[in-house]
Amino acid sequence: MPPTASTPARPKLNDGGLLLCRVAGVPVLLSTSWWIGAALIVLLYTPLVGRILPGAGVWESAVLAAVFTVLLAASVLLHELGHCIVALRMGMPVRRVRLFLLGGLSEISRTPPKPAQEGLIAAAGPAVSLVLAGATGLAWYAMTPGGAVWLLVAQTCVANLAVGVFNLLPGLPLDGGRMLRALLWRITGRRVAGTTAGVVGAGVVAVALMVYALIGLFSGADDQWLRLGVCVLMAWFVVAGASAEHQAEQRRGWPSGLELSDLVRPVLQLPAESPVGDALLAAAGRGVVLVRADGIAVGLLDQTAAERLATHAPHEPAERAAEPVDPDTILLDSEPPDEVLERVQTVLAWQFLVIDEEGRPSGVLRREDLRSALRSHRS
């Protein structure tokens, strides 16, 4: 579905920043670090405006720098929404979009299961930026050189072109790095091979950024300090992001010798109206599916919540201590282990219902059991 802005809620502080609006149901947040980045851009860009427009005073230059910062944020937002819309069309939920110090981030709740999906989602952002660069470039070409509007259009064109091209560089966590990973994943069948190549590419990108900054510094370029600040921040961002991707890939692999069947607890079905105290006694370490009289499963018994409820109201229905079962918390017992691990790491649930090929419950996988087994095997 196309991106449509819903009615914005009253601005408030969220765990990821200030809630600006929702687009296609996805919250858009402005991180507190964005204000730091905006202040730096205004501070470093204001002298450059004065050199491009000699007649502009300090305050006029500062205002133009601030307007450019807002236009840049809007361009980055559209870039991120490109990722979001493609992900939503592929059936992958998007948790939120954040604008922060170094750009933007689309938080997709699940890692794309196929290389083609990762490649298409990654390519969507730079495609939006390059389209914006083309549109503003045509306007820039049609305008008479000189003046504040001409400068803003020109700089917005250059900024979108820079964002699009920079994100196409083959290093993680940039979009180009993700596209490189998708390509190698498709060729080799191993996602880790693509991640390794993307991490190496990130190192090359970081070195190139620092070289570019130093060239501007030693050659006395007009934008030398702006270039230095941006390049240092972006090099740090690329290195830190690549390191995080590498660590995540290390955690993503399923250890050899570990079988899913060894971790799945036996399952017991109980009426949802059963007293919570009785349900805990009957569970005896098993996973409990709570079923209503009409045969519909209302959820899995949350042992912690059930124990808390039983301490003061042991006769309350066990349904009150149920963890809902939805498509994201249902696993097939024939599912590849790597996909099971990916699901458990990305879905916010403490336990997962395992079913057989005929749709019958065959066990319950608890997050804590999987974590303990992974720690044991990796140590």
Side chain identity at 132, as an amino acid letter?
A: L
What does DSSP assign to residue 366?
Answer: E
Per the residue annotation, which of 80, 118, 249, 323 is the catalytic one? 80
Nearest to 119 by CA among 181, 174, 76: 181
Please check whether residue 119 is in contact with residue 183, taking contact to mean a CB–CB distance below 8 angstroms. Answer: yes
Angle at 25 between CA 19 and CA 28, to 5 degrees: 25
331, 365 Cβ separation under 8 angstroms: yes
Alpha helices, DSSP H, located in the chain: 32-52, 58-89, 115-142, 148-167, 175-188, 191-219, 224-252, 276-283, 303-312, 337-346, 367-378
| Cβ-contact 315, 275 below 8 angstroms | yes
Smallest Cα–Cα separation from 93: which of 37, 27, 40? 27
Which residue from 129, 131, 156 is spatially nearest to 67, judged by alpha carbons? 156
Q: Annotated catalytic, 80?
A: yes
Helix axes 224-252, 32-52, angle to 10 degrees: 150
Q: Which residues are catalytic?
A: 80
